[in-house]
């Protein structure tokens, strides 16, 4: 398998390198009245290669904005995004992005949606379909290859999305509340699936969520952001839980609760203050 080889050598080459560096970036949007809205205040964040980082914060705090800047979909107003020691220009070619909204092409079947990432890179259609079939198997959807997205449930669509992103072997995986719209059980199952796939071929992951439990269960490191506007990082916690982990079981472990309590105690005030701020702005 040529792809596996290149990936391994690329990983070796990149080992010990920072996959993502956000150096003092600020992100602002123009407002209709001529002013600007600063979504993210000056922020520094480093994600090393093979590290799983979860970013937690209240809704509307600019977590997605941070991912978009890393993906190259959005240019920061100030500061620099670096990826594997090179400044980012244009789209981040190392990154695969699993969006919060449904982003499968509705006019393509599940297998075509997965294969397209290889096809556009020049892989022959036969080879691409073969690999896509294998990836659909890995996410447990082998029997659904010929279904169109609207014939799949929300969870199944997310699985197809995951296969679609992972088939290209990105070195950085950006995930924007990917399991947000799913029910609690499905979220646990999807979390386990993600951990399984990730542990086979560790990539740098930036996982945005508003669920602290999910963040602690999945990540090596949890970053907490304050509420916007001008949100910033207000907490950075390394999670000492051993791997491999199981999303359902881990919540009953005493260590999980210790970590959870520690983070929550430290942040409660800050987070609640943030929420009050947002409410004042909104009212």
- Residue 148 as a binder of other proteins (CB under 8 A): the answer is yes
Segment contacting other proteins by CB under 8 A, of 25-33, 41-49, 149-157, 263-271: 149-157
The number of residues that bind other proteins (CB under 8 A) is 29
CB of 28 to other proteins, least distance (A): 19
- Token pair of 42, please? 């000056």
One residue of 30, 34, 107, 238 binding other proteins per CB under 8 A:
107
- Residue 105 as a binder of other proteins (CB under 8 A): the answer is yes
Nearer CB in complex with other proteins: 144/237: 144
One residue of 27, 47, 55, 71 binding other proteins per CB under 8 A:
71
- Residue 91 as a binder of other proteins (CB under 8 A): the answer is yes
- Residue 135 as a binder of other proteins (CB under 8 A): the answer is no
One residue of 8, 24, 59, 93 binding other proteins per CB under 8 A:
93
- Residue 101 as a binder of other proteins (CB under 8 A): the answer is yes
- Residue 102 as a binder of other proteins (CB under 8 A): the answer is yes
- Residue 142 as a binder of other proteins (CB under 8 A): the answer is no
* C-beta contacts of 267-274 below 8 A and 24+ residues apart: 267/224, 267/234, 267/235, 270/224, 270/226, 270/234, 270/235, 271/58, 271/224, 271/226, 271/227, 274/58, 274/61, 274/226, 274/227, 274/231
Tokens 């699993």 label which residue?
A: 98
Segment contacting other proteins by CB under 8 A, of 3-11, 28-36, 56-64, 89-97: 89-97
CB of 24 to other proteins, least distance (A): 25
- Residue 108 as a binder of other proteins (CB under 8 A): the answer is yes
Residues 6+ apart with CB under 8 A from 51: 19, 204, 205, 220, 221
Angle at 142 between CA 139 and CA 147, to 5 degrees: 105
Nearer CB in complex with other proteins: 26/147: 147
Residue span 151-190 as binding mask against other proteins, x where in contact by CB under 8 A, dash where not: x------------xx--x----------------------
Residue 43, beta-bridge partner list: 25
Site of interaction with other proteins (CB under 8 A): 71, 73, 91, 93, 95-97, 99-109, 116-117, 120-121, 148-151, 164-165, 168
């Amino acid at each position: 398998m040529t792809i596996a080889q290149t990936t391994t050598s690329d990983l070796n080459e990149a080992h010990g390198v920072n996959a993502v560096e956000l150096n003092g970036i600020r992100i602002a949007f123009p407002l209709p009245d001529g002013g600007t809205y600063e979504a993210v205040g000056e922020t520094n964040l480093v994600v090393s290669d093979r590290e799983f980082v979860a970013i937690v914060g209240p809704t509307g705090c600019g977590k997605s904005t941070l991912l978009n800047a890393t993906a190259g979909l959005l240019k920061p107003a100030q500061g620099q995004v670096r990826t594997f020691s090179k400044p980012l220009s244009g789209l981040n070619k190392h990154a695969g992005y699993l969006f919060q909204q449904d982003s499968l092409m509705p006019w393509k079947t599940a297998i075509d949606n997965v294969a397209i990432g290889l096809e556009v890179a020049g892989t022959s259609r036969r080879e691409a379909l073969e690999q896509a079939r294998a990836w659909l198997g890995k996410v447990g959807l082998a029997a659904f290859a010929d279904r169109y997205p609207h014939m799949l449930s929300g969870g199944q669509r997310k699985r197809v999305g995951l296969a679609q992103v992972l088939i290209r072997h990105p070195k950085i995986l950006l995930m924007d509340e990917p399991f947000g719209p799913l029910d609690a059980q499905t979220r646990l199952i999807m979390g386990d699936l993600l951990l399984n796939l990730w542990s086979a071929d560790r990539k740098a992951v930036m996982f945005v969520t508003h669920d602290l439990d999910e963040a602690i269960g999945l990540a090596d490191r949890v970053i907490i952001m304050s509420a916007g506007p001008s949100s910033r990082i207000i907490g950075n916690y390394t999670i000492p839980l051993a791997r491999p982990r199981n999303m359902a079981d881990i919540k009953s472990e005493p260590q999980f609760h210790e970590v959870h309590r520690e983070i929550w105690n430290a942040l409660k005030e800050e987070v609640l203050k943030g929420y009050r701020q947002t409410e004042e702005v909104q009212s």
